Structure 1
Amino acid sequence: MTDHVAPPPMLPAPDRGLAFLARHPRGLMLATVFVGAAIGWAWLAAMIAAMLAATDMAALGPGMELFNYFNGLTEIPESVRAGLAVLCAPAPGAAWSLGDVASVFAMWVTMVLAMMLPTAAPMLAAYAGRAEIAIAAGERPVSVLVPAAGYLTVWLGFAIVATGAQAGLTALRAFNAAMGPMTLVLGATTLLAAGVYQFTPLKQACLTRCRLPASFFAVRWSSETAQVYRLGLEQGLNCLGCCWALMAVMFAVGVMNVVWIAVLGLVMGLEKATLNPWVSRVIGVALIAWGLGLIAASPVGARLLHL
């Protein structure tokens, strides 16, 4: 007489999905990057939508004037739009409340999710690939969420510093209510600093480490959660050393400029994904040229040119 073995009980659908992702690190990696970036962009879109009805979007930085087609302000003369911006804007240099600090910090966090998390996809994919090898060998590797958490911890630290810098610039009246520089010189010097940093040994060393995540995890592989988290921190620091200056460009083009959030995110992703050293150099030359152009267009530059 044949014994019939009862099949194992079926897990609920959400549990089956989680179990599948645990067995397939690449799938979990893709879900993490997609969901995180989607949250970032959804939050930014909600912030822009809340501002759209009563804001001249051109004040938010170059490229943002395109959004005025959605609020009808393109039909209003520029002088009238400038007057409305002055009437509706908070007083320059006004002290921030705790709510203002929290709001700006949340904005920088969403920028980190929208810009930096997608650029971490190759690093997380390298970890997921090594984890799949470990699973095939019968091991239980640490979830890909752990190095992702380490990576994001570093960039959350950057968001804190950026929030403090923005608060300081606003208090010094160097930053306006539209979250952009008050003078061309401030924007120009930011662009020049970012461009020069592209050619520094520190930038190149961090960029090289960001481009070779597979060899990093092959040499430093661990099955301990704390160690894997530290590896994520290390990769986050490499990325910070590679990209902080390009992120700082947001202070020159307007912190709420979603057009440049998208552009800079693509630039940083391209720079990490390509091994050609000229990509980084071209970016540096473009930033320096842009900065010099702004200085030449500023009142200070005009006086210098007429000496």
Structure 2
Amino acid sequence: MSLRAGSQSPGISRHHRVFLPILIALAWVALWAWARSPYGRYLEHGDWTASGPAAFLCRVIPAGDIVVPMALYTVAWILMIAAMMLPTTLPLFDVFDRLTAQRPDHGRLLMLLGLGYVTVWGAFGLVAHLLHSAMLILITSVPTLAWHGWLIGAAIIALAGAFQFSRLKYRCLEKCRTPLSFVIEHWRGYAQAWHAFALGAQHGLFCVGCCWALMLLMFAFGTGSLGWMLLLAAAMAIEKNVRWGQRLSKPLGVALLSWAVVLVATHA
């Protein structure tokens, strides 16, 4: 089915085009409410098991000290992905929406596309969480790191800045900036459910490939910082979706590297 054929029935999928922005807005509202609630510390990956409902659940659930923090982290991460990354991939959903508008399972295919995308980012989030937990253990066991925690933040900021100049960054960014070409290249149209999921997952891989370093900045800034979250989401959306977006990558890299140098110079 051609894109032209799918675009002849805009009324069929109009509600799907409204649903995704609503979902994104709800994710931001949920993060805002959570950050300002008595349990906002859970967003910061603090001591989830020290007090409050999480501590109670950790005691009553088998292996609760592992299961409960992972569950809270998963919910927080999914909300972050919905709020920060889904806006950057709206053009992909729009292209796929028009492509499949006349299929009877149109809504299900869009859901599977989103599920594939979120699954890849969820896997990245799990790896980031494990690395973050290992780093916290290392800081606890090495007093020098505890006294010089700013080094870790400076290293993450410098890594994100340097990655803005990498070839991998631009190869992945190019895939994200051309959703029509991406769908034409990867969408086969048969075994629709699996291929819709695979299409979302493949796009998610390229999205992770160009944005993983910027997302790691949330661990340096604090995952509960909605201001930094909004700023990074805007930068990634501009890089991917605005005509001149690629021009932002190198200046952003320079700014991050300069910030890291200032941090080192200030604390050295």
- Normalising by the smaller structure, the TM-score range is 0.7 to 0.9
Match of 2:113 among 147, 155, 162: 147
Match of 1:225 among 182, 193, 197: 193
Q: Residue 11 of structure 1 aligns with which residue?
A: none
Following superposition, the deviation at residue 280 of structure 1 comes to 0.9
Following superposition, the deviation at residue 170 of structure 1 comes to 2.1
Distance in structure 2 (CA, Å) of the matches to 1:212 and 1:264: 21
Structure with higher Rg: it is 1
Distance in structure 2 (CA, Å) of the matches to 1:173 and 1:106: 26
Match of 1:255 among 210, 223, 228: 223
Q: Residue 62 of structure 2 aligns with which residue?
A: none
1:267 correspondence with 2:267 = no
Distance in structure 1 (CA, Å) of the matches to 2:265 and 2:149: 13
What does residue range 137-216 of structure 1 map to in structure 2 within 5 Å? 140=104, 142=106, 143-173=109-139, 183-216=149-182
CA contact (8 A) 2:112 2:197 kept: yes
| Structure 2 SS opposite 1:218 | helix
Distance in structure 2 (CA, Å) of the matches to 1:42 and 1:232: 25
Q: Residue 35 of structure 2 aligns with which residue?
A: 48
CA contact (8 A) 2:78 2:118 kept: no
Following superposition, the deviation at residue 28 of structure 1 comes to 0.7
Q: Deviations over 1:65-118 (max 9, x none)?
A: xxxxxxxxxxxxxxxxxxxxxxxx96xxxxx54322322232222111111111
Give the aligned length. 231
Distance in structure 2 (CA, Å) of the matches to 1:282 and 1:129: 35
- Residues 231 and 31 from structure 1, CA distance in 2 versus in 1: closer, same or farther, beyond 3 angstroms? same
| Structure 1 SS opposite 2:132 | helix
Distance in structure 1 (CA, Å) of the matches to 2:226 and 2:152: 20
TM-score (norm 1): 0.68
Moved more, 274-283 or 204-213: 274-283
| Structure 1 SS opposite 2:224 | coil
Distance in structure 1 (CA, Å) of the matches to 2:10 and 2:128: 35
* Root mean square deviation of aligned Cα: 2.9
CA contact (8 A) 1:211 1:272 kept: yes
Structure 1 stretches lacking a partner, 5+ long: 1-20, 61-88, 91-95, 175-180, 302-307
Distance in structure 1 (CA, Å) of the matches to 2:164 and 2:196: 29
Distance in structure 2 (CA, Å) of the matches to 1:50 and 1:185: 30
Following superposition, the deviation at residue 218 of structure 1 comes to 2.6
| Structure 1 SS opposite 2:37 | helix
Structure 2 stretches lacking a partner, 5+ long: 1-8, 51-64, 141-146
- Residues 182 and 24 from structure 1, CA distance in 2 versus in 1: closer, same or farther, beyond 3 angstroms? farther
- Residues 29 and 185 from structure 1, CA distance in 2 versus in 1: closer, same or farther, beyond 3 angstroms? same
Distance in structure 1 (CA, Å) of the matches to 2:186 and 2:14: 19
Distance in structure 2 (CA, Å) of the matches to 1:141 and 1:47: 35
Moved more, 142-151 or 228-237: 142-151
1:294 correspondence with 2:260 = no
Following superposition, the deviation at residue 144 of structure 1 comes to 1.8
TM-score (norm 2): 0.77
CA contact (8 A) 1:194 1:249 kept: yes
CA contact (8 A) 1:123 1:214 kept: yes
Match of 1:246 among 181, 191, 214: 214
Q: Residue 6 of structure 2 aligns with which residue?
A: none
| Structure 2 SS opposite 1:144 | helix
What does residue range 92-171 of structure 1 map to in structure 2 within 5 Å? 97-132=66-101, 135=102, 140=104, 142=106, 143-171=109-137
Following superposition, the deviation at residue 52 of structure 1 comes to 8.5
Provide the identity percentage: 30
Q: Deviations over 1:174-209 (max 9, x none)?
A: 7xxxxxx96221111101100110111111000000
CA contact (8 A) 1:119 1:268 kept: yes
More helix by share: 2
Q: Residue 24 of structure 1 aligns with which residue?
A: 12
Moved more, 223-232 or 207-216: 223-232
